[in-house]
Each structure stands twice: as C-alpha cells, then as structure tokens.
Structure 1
Amino acid sequence: MFSLILAAVCAVLYVRWRSRDRRMLRNGVVLVAGIWLAFSGVAELLTDLVPAFGFVWLILLALVPLAALVLAGFLIANGLTMLRREGRRLGNLLSLLLGVAVFALPIIAVALLMTDQAWAIGLAALLFVLSGYFGVVFVVFLAYAVAYSRMGVEAEPAAVVVLGSRLIDGTPPPLLKSRLDRALELYRDTEPRPLLVPSGGQGADEPRPEGAAMADYLVAAGADRGDVVAEERARTTEENLRYSLQVQAESGRPGPAVAVTNNYHVLRAALLARKLGIPAEVVGSPTAAYYVPSAFLREFVAVLVEHKWLHALLLLPFVAFVGFLVYAIAMTY
C-alpha cells in the first residue's frame, strides 16, 4: 500500500513539473519511479489477495537473465547491421559494444569473484553498481524521450526550425528529408503560415551549406519562397537553435518556435533549448528502425557527458561503499 501512495505522489509531481516545463529530465525520473512503484504496489496487493501470484513474480524474476540475453543478441545484431549500412564509425559501434558488454560483464564478474581476492571482489561490486546505475539512468532517458516525443505542439508556431545534418552529394539524405517533411506538415497545418528556418552550415565534405540545400527542398515541396529563410552558419545543435532564433527575430515573425529533428534526437535538443533559455519546443520525425538503437545510445552518451559532474556526485556514495567493502574484506584476510 505504501508503494501505491508513493506512486501517487510521483504522479502528482510528474503532472505538476511537466505542466511547468516539459523539457526537464527530472520529469522522466518521477515518471519511471511512479510506474515502478505502481507496479510493485499492485504486485504486492495481488500477492496478498491471491498468494499464488507470488510464484508468478518469481517466474518473471527468473526470466530476467533470459531477457538480458535476448537484449544482448538484439543489440549485437543491430550493431552488425549498422556496420554494414552506415560504416565503421565509433557512433555506429555503440549497440554492438553494449551487446557484447551485456554478455561479457556477468562472466567477468564471476571470474573476479572466483579469485577470492579483496580487490577482485571490490571490482566485481563496482561493475555491478555502475551497470545498475547507468541502466536505470538509460531507462529514465529512454522512457521520457518516448513520452516527450508524443506530446505534440502546444501552441501554433510562428517559426518552424529544421535542425540540419550532413548532406550527401549536396542534397538531403533520407534522414534529413524526414525532418523536412515533418516541418512541411507543421507548415501546412498552421494558419497563418509560419516561417520555415532550415538550419545548417557547410561541412568540410559538403559542397554547399546544409541550410541552403534544405531551403531548396522545402520550396520544391510547395513551401512559399517568402516563408523560407535559410540559416547557413550553424555547426552544432546549440548553434542551430541560437542562430535560427536570430533569423526569426530578424524576419519580423515573433511568437513561439518549434524545432524539428529526428525522433531519437528530440529530448536532447529540448534539454539543450531549455539550458540555453530558448523558448522552443522540439518535435520528432520518423527514423529508419535499424538506425534508432545506436542513435538513442549516442544521444544518451551525449547527455551523460553534458551532466558528467552531476552523475559523478550521484555515484560517489556508491563508489565509497564499494571502497569500504573492499577494506572490510581485506581486513578479514
């Protein structure tokens, strides 16, 4: 019963914080915590009412290792697909590396415990702590990324910013076309028509600025040339957002802005907009299914790096406990 009360508290916090600002990752923390507490509370009630349900939960718990193996197999298969279709860049290796880690870490942990050495037991405990911590953080990130991407646009946008990505042979590839098509949907569904700001500078391997190529695509697809103003300097997501809002201000189209990117990038772009103090929501466009796992992992790593000191602080008590454990074990030898 206590779990259900805590779940209700989390639900209230989630609604309140989300209504205040949807672009906060702490919304995801209380969302996941509330779902877990509600599930635990319902499981406890069912077990009290029907004791046989206790065996069901034990069976589900026993299936966790099998689920981990299935997940590892999926990640490895996806990683091989990414290598075949996208090349051998580090970002494309993430799902493969994670799948191998899911297989290997339990084996490494058992091997360390079998050495019967204090430092090895401590290292095994540290691997367990780190895996558990980052696993929970990833679940929070993924759950709220999905939740945020389904919220839609609250107000009619005065400007629709399209975040750029690399061109291929001077034209938008399918990944970027997906963003542009989503922007066109918003453009056609809004009255009066919003300003379209395709944003992206020129990379070293690109024959023209991304913004210019994106603008040509939008006009060719039916957007009024007078409603399209390209931003051609940005090289990062932060610059996409800042420079595009400058373009909107200079174009005399005041009002709320919406940024468009692919669905895997939505939450990080929204978090960044909030950090920069930019009053813009972010919406997503579809992405090829095989590309999504590695893309989400890249976004997760990027968010971890952006908040590295916060995570280091949160991990400190756990690491200190592992250190104390190693010391206590060493003293017994």
Structure 2
Amino acid sequence: MFVTFVCLALLAVGGAVLVKERRSMFGGLLFAFSGMLLVFLGLVEALTRLANSSAIGDTASLVIVYGLFPLIFLAIVLAFIFNTRTMSTKEGRSFTAKLSAMLGLNVLIAVPLFFYLIVMGNGPLPLVVYNLLIFLLILDLLLVLLFACYLFYSWMYQMLPVKKQVDYIIVLGSGIRSEEVPPLLKSRLDKGLEYYHKNKDAYIVVSGGQGPDEPVSEAFAMKKYLLSQGVPDERILVEDRSTTTLENMKFSKEVITKHWQKAGTPSVLFSTNNYHVLRGAVYARKAGLKAEGVGAPTAFYFLPSALIREYIAMLVHFKWFTGFLVILCLAFVIRSALPI
C-alpha cells in the first residue's frame, strides 16, 4: 500500500510538471516511471490473486507466477535481437543496425547475472571484482529501465494532439545524396504539408545545412520538393546553416523572429520523424523556441535502433544527469560493501 501511495504521489508530481511544460524531460520520465511501476504492481497483484484462487490447480499457479514474466522478458529480448537481422537486410550492415541486438543481448546477460550474483554472493570472486560487477550491472539495468521510461514518454508526448492554429511549420532536415529528397526526409515534409494545408496562412521553414558529402543544402532540396507540391515560393522560408538538431531550432528561431511582424508570440510547430520528436522538443526548449512537434511515421523495423540512438544522444545531452546516475550507483555499492 505504501509503495502504491508513493507511486501515485510521483505520478501526480510528474503530471503537474507536464501540464506546465510538456517538454520537461524530468516530468516526463517521472510520470512514465511511476505509471509503469503502478501497472507492474497491479499486474503482480492480479496474478498473485489468480494463482491463489481455488479455481486453478497448483501447476497452473506455478506457471502463472514463475513462468509468465520470464516468457514476456524472453520474447522482448529476442524481438530486439532478431530485429537487427531485418534492419541489416533493409538498411545495410551499419553500427546503428546492430544497436537493437546489442541491447537485447545486454539485457539477456545482465538480468540473470545480476540475480545470480545477488543470490550466490561473491563466491570465488575477489570482493573488489564482485563489487565492481554489481556496480556495473546496477548502472546497466538502471539505464535500461530509464530507456523504457523514455520510450513511454516519447509515445505519450506524441499522443497529445496539436489542435491550435499554426503560424510557422519547421521541417527538420536529414541527410541527402542528391537534390531529390530521400524517403525519410520526404515523410517529414509530407507531415509538414499535412499541417500546412490545415493552416493556409502558415509559413514553412525548411531547416538544414549542407554537409561535406551533400551536393546541396538540405534546405535547398526541401524547398525544391515543396515547390513541386504546389506550395508558393513566398510561403517557404529557408534556414540553410544548421548541422545539428539544436542548430535547427536556434537558427530557425532567428528566421522566424526576423520574419514575424505581428504583435505577440507566433505559434510554431516542427515536423520530423516520430522517433526524433521528443529530442527535437527538448532541443527546441533549450533554444528558447516555444514549439511543439509532430512525427512522421517510420518503418517499424527501423524504430528500435533509431530510438536507442536517440536515447544515447539524450544521455550525452544531459551529462549532469548521467553523471548523477553513475555516482548514485557507485555510492550504493560502496555503502552496501561497508560493514554496518
């Protein structure tokens, strides 16, 4: 009961933060963590009651209590591992394609090893090695749990519809190989067009510079595509200096501020792929740009690796938080190793 009360309190705090600022990573992760924990506790309670029910036999009880969660765990892990094969077949054998398999294998090894070490103790292992393993495994599993919270928050953020009138629609660029936009970038542009057609007085800001291996700037190729789709030239604003998502937001804000001639603050929307929306929203907030994001659909096989890459980028972005987790895990292990 106490744990449930704490979860509800944390859920309320996270929800209150999100009501004030839906792009708050702290509020989103807190809300996601407490919500997932409540669901887990509810499922455990339901399964325990079912297992203790006289309507089923002892064998069924054992299967329910000790078999269901391991099966779910194994199914998720195997799905991540085998997704790499699909990813490699369709996108090529890159490091990014291997990310989902790396996560799956990591969890498959880390979870059983952690419980084994906790139950069996250090045994023949030197105490220093044992404590180092415990530290690494706790940090590892904590980061995996945080990834699950990140997925939930990312999904939740995109489920909130954008119904307001929009003055500017920023389309974030991605890599190009010619003056024609590739499928990934086209999906972002088409999502932007979807909202442009609902807001005929809006302007589209195409945002993306020219990389060393790109023949033209991403903004140039994006504008060319929008013109082919019937968007008037005067409705397209070009930002062609950015090379990162944060620069996308900073430089697009400069373009909008210079262009906006009315009183008040313009209503801004940005379009990208669904796996990239949350990071885009966080960077928009850092750039001081009040903008909400919408995501274009992405092939399902591409999502695991893309989301893992986004999550790693967020850990790098929030270095202080990542460092805090490391220190927290280290302090826990040191405190546990000290004699009482």
Report the AA paired with residue 109 of structure 2. A
State the SS of the aligned residue for 2:269.
strand
Distance 1:62 1:315 in 2: 33
For the pair 1:27 / 2:27, whether they are aligned, the reply is yes
Aligned length in residues: 328
Identical counterparts, % of pairs: 34
Structure 1 pair 120–195 and aligned structure 2 pair: CA distance change class (3 A): same
Distance 1:258 1:89 in 2: 32
Report the AA paired with residue 202 of structure 2. P
Q: Which residue of 1 aligns with 2:157?
A: 148
Using the TM superposition, name which of 288-297 and 41-50 deviates more: 41-50
Q: Which residue of 2 aligns with 1:282?
A: 293
Structure 1 pair 57–31 and aligned structure 2 pair: CA distance change class (3 A): farther
TM-score by length of 2: 0.85
Q: Which residue of 2 aligns with 1:226?
A: 234
- Kindly report the root-mean-square deviation, in angstroms, between the aligned alpha carbons of the 2 structures: 3.0
Partner of residue 93 from structure 1, selected from 98, 101, 106: 98
Partner of residue 322 from structure 2, selected from 291, 299, 311: 311
State the SS of the aligned residue for 1:213.
helix
Partner of residue 211 from structure 2, selected from 199, 203, 206: 203
**What are structure 2's unaligned runs of at least 5 residues?**
none
Deviation, 1:318, is: 2.5
Distance 1:175 1:307 in 2: 27
Distance 1:174 1:49 in 2: 49
Distance 2:43 2:75 in 1: 27
Distance 2:273 2:248 in 1: 14
Distance 1:103 1:301 in 2: 20
State the SS of the aligned residue for 1:170.
coil
Structure 1 pair 91–48 and aligned structure 2 pair: CA distance change class (3 A): closer
Structure 1 pair 114–43 and aligned structure 2 pair: CA distance change class (3 A): closer
Using the TM superposition, name which of 126-135 and 261-270 deviates more: 126-135
Q: Which residue of 2 aligns with 1:73?
A: 78
Using the TM superposition, name which of 198-207 and 319-328 deviates more: 319-328
Report the AA paired with residue 186 of structure 1. Y
Would the aligned equivalents of 1:264 and 1:292 in 2 still touch at CA under 8 Å?
yes
TM-score by length of 1: 0.87
Report the AA paired with residue 219 of structure 2. G
Partner of residue 270 from structure 2, selected from 255, 259, 272: 259
Would the aligned equivalents of 1:69 and 1:102 in 2 still touch at CA under 8 Å?
no
Structure 1 pair 185–276 and aligned structure 2 pair: CA distance change class (3 A): same
Query: 1:168-207 maps to which residues of 2 (within 5 A)?
Result: 168-190=177-199, 192-207=200-215
CA deviations over 1:26-56 (Å, ceiling 9, x no partner): 2221233034236526855896799439986
Distance 2:297 2:246 in 1: 22
Would the aligned equivalents of 1:179 and 1:260 in 2 still touch at CA under 8 Å?
yes
Would the aligned equivalents of 1:68 and 1:102 in 2 still touch at CA under 8 Å?
no
Using the TM superposition, name which of 231-240 and 32-41 deviates more: 32-41
State the SS of the aligned residue for 2:304.
helix
State the SS of the aligned residue for 1:63.
helix
State the SS of the aligned residue for 2:12.
helix
Would the aligned equivalents of 1:4 and 1:41 in 2 still touch at CA under 8 Å?
no
Deviation, 1:222, is: 2.1
Distance 1:304 1:138 in 2: 10
Report the AA paired with residue 80 of structure 2. L
Report the AA paired with residue 310 of structure 1. F
